Structure 1
Amino acid sequence: MTSSLPAPPLVSVVMCIYNGERFLKDQIDSILQQTYTNIELVCVDDQSTDRSVAIIQEYQRQDSRVKLFENERNLGFNKNFERGFSLCTGEFIAISDQDDVWHSHKIEDLIFYIGNSLLVYSNSELIDEDGKKLHQNLESSIKHVHDPSYKGFLEYNFVTGHTCLFKRELLQYITPIPKNVLYYDWWIGFTAAYVGKVFYLDKILTQYRLHSNSVIQKLKSSHTDKETEKGKRYAQALSFAEADFVKPKDKKEILNFLRIKLNASKDLFSSTNCYVHLLKNHRQYYPWYKKSFISKLNFIRRQCK
């Protein structure tokens, strides 16, 4: 008597699209050719004006795993991903950019290593717009962290969306995405670290494409003055503190962190208080800082100006 093995869990891959025709085929091909085959590719187009929709429709005719949803108005990347998450039916959800290339075993590896963690993320190598390797990876500039504290996300994000796979249960915490959140993956990283565990898989599983037309690259290169950027990050951290799932004692911790930094420029006592507090907690606040400890001391000093 033979018994059939249960089907592996469905993985929903969310790809949000906006005028991505140039690189779209490379990315879709790399997803559909994964060694882990029980997937659905949820494509959400945010009012593209190029051939993006037509390209996805071509794939739909060839592969039933490809699903296309078109927004009636432009939502922007945060809300577009939020809509994409709501359309997923899988037990696991993976995030895809529209212009990268995945290694063929990416999903298989992430599924294997997630274990009892809520989210797993990995490393990526950088390529240029022609697909040429730049001999750098995401860890060239920041340190990726295994099982980080939520406090590690108050200043910076090191969980990049396109490297992530998470369990469906995380959706109840990450949606809706608060309006003051700068980047959806920053919010996901903070939330996953707070309500569960985050596993870092030290493998390069994606070729991450850098090019001038990337939405994220445009945002990062926009001419925003330091005070405006500081205000936006302050508002985002407030959103973290005010999340429904954050316990009162942790909300108090976040607000105290913000108060200390906000008051640091008032006088020497406040500046010193800020420096001492950040130094005392530097392993939790700045686990992603990659340079020497002396450099970190100078970095902390600059945070208290």
Structure 2
Amino acid sequence: MRILFFGRGLISTQYAWALEKAGHTVEFYVRKGRKATFGGYIELEMWDARRGKQFIKESWNVQLHEEIRPNYDLIIVSVSTEQLPEVAQLLSTVTGNTPILIFNNIWQDLKSAISPLVMNNVVFGFPGAGGGITDNRLRGGFFKMIFLEKPRAGTEQINNMVKELFESAHFKISWIKDMQNWLWNHFAMNAAMEAEVLRQGSFPALLNHRDSFANVGKNMREIAPVLRARGAKIDMISLLLTKIPPPLLSMLFNKVIFAKGSLARLSIEYNNTKAGFSVIEVVKEAKKLGISLPRLTATLENNQRHNVIDN
């Protein structure tokens, strides 16, 4: 298959590399001027967990374009959540009927999030990867599992194509029945974690403070009423975050989920993205619903970001 990745970010680069190794043609769309800035290669230092845990270290040549051509079998979009509306608007004008996989965190309802794209031409998924990019050097890794919504009426053909694509590269699909609900829960959990990142100062600092994940659980307890007010069902992971006593939650994350040397921990240690957007969006929604979020609001105020809630 011939695949275009929108942007040469962390997630796009890791999956593009894996799909190219499986025999597919992968290219990247980047904004004007970025082709010269990025250059024709990227240094990879990442863990591939599809077949055990293999460390990949190579200088990988990439194909970058500053325009979107109409000759792709699939376009894969994985961008910062705040960029998605602008990206959807651009794609609606240049892609025609090319199928699109939105590989993204989303807090809006799905149809609004990708407007004016046509829902029947889009499927939604979520990656199992993490890390960061600094100075053309990617450090991180990806798991065997990716998440993909079960087919909606009209998307069966695209879903099957995406399924076969990732399975050809030895990924395993976890099918999500209600992608809207799953993404709302995931976004809320992300906000609970990012609030603690803002308190500690960085993603690596989050891992090095013994109370961080206890606080993540407290943040999630505060956010849960917002999810319910939106009509979301609290999923199993969110429920565990809200029900497990904070000291036990802290031990579970520090000793098991993010144990030293684990791929999950490395993905967080290398994360150098700017935290806060998900916290702002959740607090804005809570304000509309008349729900108080004192922990998250105080975090934004302490980081001098509280003024954005009213904008």
TM-score of the alignment, normalized to the shorter chain, above 0.5: no
Q: TM-score if structure 2 supplies the norm length?
A: 0.28
| Structure ID, larger Rg | 1
Question: Normalising to structure 1: TM-score of the pair?
Answer: 0.29
